[in-house]
Amino acid sequence: MYKYVVKRLLLLIPILLGVTFVIFSIMALTPGDPGTLILGQNAPKTAIAELNHRLGYDRPFLARYATYIIDALRGDFGKSYITSKPVFREIFARFPTTLTLAFLGTLVSVIIGIPLGILSAVKQYSALDVASTMIAMVMGSIPGFWLGMLMILLFSLKLGWLPSYGVGGVEHYIMPALTVGVTSAAYKLRTTRATMLETVREDYIRTARAKGAPEKTVIWNHALRNALLPIITVVGIDFAALLGGTILTESVFAMPGLGMLMLTSIRMKDLPLVMAAVVFLAALFCISMLVVDIIYAYVDPRLRSRYVGAARARARARRG
């Protein structure tokens, strides 16, 4: 297991290099320059050229990219063009909002999607199964920003129960979390239903029922545990994707999160901030997938025995 984790962490190096090159290229190919965006189109051309020179934007693409990589390897990811503050200070100031929203949104989708998926599989072709399928179709087709605006109209303007913008207490996260969670619960519902339907048809499930095991024990202890791997994968990918995919929700509810920061930085061609945010999110995504793989080993005894058997074989080889 230790060697596996180390190998996965080492794979981060080429992945992050590829991500930085792609994003750096996209930012270089987009029209405009930071000097014009910062000073405005009516600013003197000499002032714009001087600012671009000071930011190093007038240098060749490969020279700028090589300088960025060398500085990043030294731990210097630069300063924001707009605020002149270190980029990770800006990122870490906004990231807790996005992390909280992603966690709560994932939690809501799990609470809604997985139980409905299990019930839909257990009661296949029943009215509950049809209703769950229809609910999944509705939730999957609702645009998140539209659902968020409807919630603002109902719970903020009509009823006055919840705040419509900003961050503060738990009440500020209720509507954003529901917006994120409801729209992503549909995929978890369909995945859980399909996986459970495949699992309950296995021979060991028939054997457990033939031995007289209670239906709850068969479903929760045997079927669900063996159906968890695809569900864990979906939950892990969804959470990692939400860390960088809550831009629309943050925009609707005016939440100062990492998504809004990246959107503003892209518009202003704030290259150091965009690059640092993308590298940060890419590393988090890879680490999240590594955590999912480690959870696999604890959920599935077959994978755990494979890791333990390999470790014991290496130990015997060293002793021999």
Q: What is the pLDDT of residue 240?
A: 84
Structure tokens at 282: 């890419």
Q: What is the pLDDT of residue 269?
A: 80
Convert 112-127 to b/e letters by CB count within 10 Å (16 or more is b): bbbebbbbbbbeeeee
Q: Record the pTM.
A: 0.78
* Cα 275–Cα 276–Cα 280 angle in degrees, nearest 5: 120
Domains of the chain with CATH codes:
2-73 (no CATH), 89-319 (1.10.3720.10)
* Cα 180–Cα 186–Cα 188 angle in degrees, nearest 5: 95
Taking all residues of the chain, what is their mean pLDDT, rounded to a whole number? 81
Residues 179, 162 contacting (CB under 8 angstroms): no
* Cα 193–Cα 199–Cα 201 angle in degrees, nearest 5: 110
pLDDT tens digit sequence for 266-306: 888 888 888 888 888 888 888 888 887 777 767 666 655 55
Please list the residues that pair with 86 across neighbouring strands: 79
Q: Is the pLDDT reported for residue 110 higher than 80?
A: yes
